[in-house]
Structure 1
Amino acid sequence: MKKGVDVGGTFIKVLWEDGRREKIYVRDISQNREEFIKKLREVIKDGRPSRVGVAVAGFTSLEGVVYRSPNIPALDGVDVGKILAEEGIEGVVMNDVSAGAFGEWFYDYRDSKSLLLVAVGTGLGAGFVHEGKVFLGSCGSALELGHHTVEKGGFLCNCGRRGCLEAYCSSYGLERLYEVFSGRKLKDYQIVQRAKDGEEEALRSVETFKEYLVLGLMNAVHILNPDLVVLGGGLIDQLREFLGDLEIRLKDAVESLPSKCLRVRFSECGEFCMARGALALALRDDF
């Protein structure tokens, strides 16, 4: 039996080939290297899987080494591929959103030639699948869309740089925009609810979030020329009622040729999206 494992900073999520799902809470040990690795090893080998796909939130090399994970400090420098080998389990390790992008193509959009997944939640990540193959770059770090600069000298990003797309389009980005416009600190879900209730500062924050999101997507479309952009992640799900015009706005922003073949869709796979992508990788023996 094969399974997909999504390693996040709050939960490790598991999706089995037969549809079984598991969530393991790990937030309390996300900065404890020894305990986190121990738990990850237990999850990987549990149930004696024949093959495992592992999706990791962080800069992950082609060999399965997590060079840096901003939201899971315990994983910095950890060789997840080596853990698989030590347990005698065949598998593949990949950045979580790259894995999620493959899952979108594998399960829902095989008619797409070039699929870009952009996931917005705690941070902003992206993955790109071209002709059924995940594009990872030379050493595995391609599609860090959240860390391209959209505002010189702008907001401080969690990566340590300034003006990154993620610094504006993420949970903490929305919270920061709201603080600028209102002078108050609220959590992302509270801001979204206030926007739904018609509060001016919340609506202004959401609109500014959308403006930066369109800017970031425009840059990506001009570089990659996808025929399909899929939007997902917890914050996108919360904001769905405000994003109905996003496809029109994006098409208006990009050049006419890439606009001609472009579609925008919303992911429907929910919180197990990255685990689903990891499972898809496990099911494909050519990875």
Structure 2
Amino acid sequence: MEILAIDVGGTKVDMGIVKDGKLIARDRFLNSPSENIVNLISSYIKDKDIDGVGIGVAGQVDYETGTVIFGGNIGWENFPLGRLLQEELNVPVFVENDANIFALGVWKYELGSKPESVLGVTLGTGIGGGFVYEGDLLRSKRGATLEIGHMVIEAEGPACTCGSHGCLESLAGGWALEKWYSERTGEKLTGAQIHERARSGDKEAIFLYQRLGYYLGIACASLANILNPDIIVLGGSISATFPLWQDIYEAEIRRRAVPPVKDTPTVVSTLKEAALLGASALVEQALTR
């Protein structure tokens, strides 16, 4: 089975061809506006014979219809991505939240389908969550399951892209990190540049990462209390900074989680193609069950 796997994030679009569980081609593009994404995908698979398409999108997704209900960081609202692609490509198309496909890819390909339950947390421009239990994703019909980036951590906190205030994403997301650094120093840097500053001993950058770890620790302790996962796996660009905030994150987990889940391990995924492989697994599950 040959599958086109796609991961649409806040700043990029990753695409690849997965054949029999192996990624045989991969490319990255700058994020495209909604009116161009169908053309981009159609051009990418021109002259390729594929059996289906799996797509992860940063936002709330109606899995049944393939509609992106709301993607605040990519500017999509009620966008019928699945229908448009299926009409264009004439193959089965399955659209899912990007954190869900990350969690599914980690469970199947990195952890070998062994843990009963996995909580995947994606840390990039925004923050997302996906939960796999015995190989199945936790879903709801309204497409907003485990929108952990929009858990309210501080009731009177900063404004978020969703319209609320004090969301985890507004305190620890990539866009928030860049905003806070700019406000505190007057310099506009990318997340990668702030990371480099922190590694070089920049006190402001280190403070912001520790602050990020504090809020993520609060959030993940609450999630562990609710879901009791066997393991928490971090992914996304910000997960590479884990050593900068691991201590404060783990301290908050121990402080706030109930006794049975205080020792839930948290690791950083080492599977760079987890999201694309998860998108492929999504298609395989749908076509073979």
Contact kept, 8 Å, 1:3 with 1:49, in 2: the verdict is yes
Who is 2:79 aligned against?
A: 78
Alpha-carbon distance between aligned partners in 2 of 1:130 and 1:104, rounded to the nearest angstrom: 12
Who is 1:69 aligned against?
A: 71
Cα deviation digits, residues 174-208 of structure 1 (max 9, x gap)? 22333454454433222222221222222211111
Judging changes above 3 Å, is the alpha-carbon distance between structure 1 residues 44 and 130 closer, same or farther for their aligned structure 2 residues?
A: farther
Who is 2:204 aligned against?
A: 201
Which residue identity is paired with 1:135? Answer: L
Contact kept, 8 Å, 2:101 with 2:279, in 1: the verdict is yes
Alpha-carbon distance between aligned partners in 2 of 1:254 and 1:265, rounded to the nearest angstrom: 17
Judging changes above 3 Å, is the alpha-carbon distance between structure 1 residues 199 and 170 closer, same or farther for their aligned structure 2 residues?
A: same
Contact kept, 8 Å, 2:69 with 2:143, in 1: the verdict is no
Q: CA deviation at 1:160?
A: 2.3
Contact kept, 8 Å, 2:4 with 2:15, in 1: the verdict is no
Match of 2:194 among 182, 191, 194: 191
Q: CA deviation at 1:244?
A: 4.0
Gaps of 5+ in 1: none
Contact kept, 8 Å, 1:5 with 1:44, in 2: the verdict is no
Contact kept, 8 Å, 1:116 with 1:126, in 2: the verdict is yes
Match of 1:139 among 139, 142, 145: 142
Contact kept, 8 Å, 2:5 with 2:16, in 1: the verdict is yes
Which residue identity is paired with 1:93? Answer: V
Q: CA deviation at 1:158?
A: 1.9
Which one is further off, 56-65 or 40-49?
Answer: 40-49
Alpha-carbon distance between aligned partners in 2 of 1:158 and 1:46, rounded to the nearest angstrom: 39
Alpha-carbon distance between aligned partners in 2 of 1:251 and 1:68, rounded to the nearest angstrom: 34
Judging changes above 3 Å, is the alpha-carbon distance between structure 1 residues 156 and 46 closer, same or farther for their aligned structure 2 residues?
A: farther
Judging changes above 3 Å, is the alpha-carbon distance between structure 1 residues 249 and 117 closer, same or farther for their aligned structure 2 residues?
A: same
Which residue identity is paired with 1:65? Answer: T
Q: CA deviation at 1:248?
A: 5.3
- Give the secondary structure class of the aligned counterpart of 1:20: strand
Who is 1:20 aligned against?
A: 24
Judging changes above 3 Å, is the alpha-carbon distance between structure 1 residues 265 and 36 closer, same or farther for their aligned structure 2 residues?
A: same
Contact kept, 8 Å, 1:26 with 1:36, in 2: the verdict is no
CA RMSD of aligned residues (A): 2.2
Contact kept, 8 Å, 1:13 with 1:275, in 2: the verdict is yes
Who is 2:222 aligned against?
A: 219
Q: CA deviation at 1:56?
A: 1.6
Percent identity reads 30
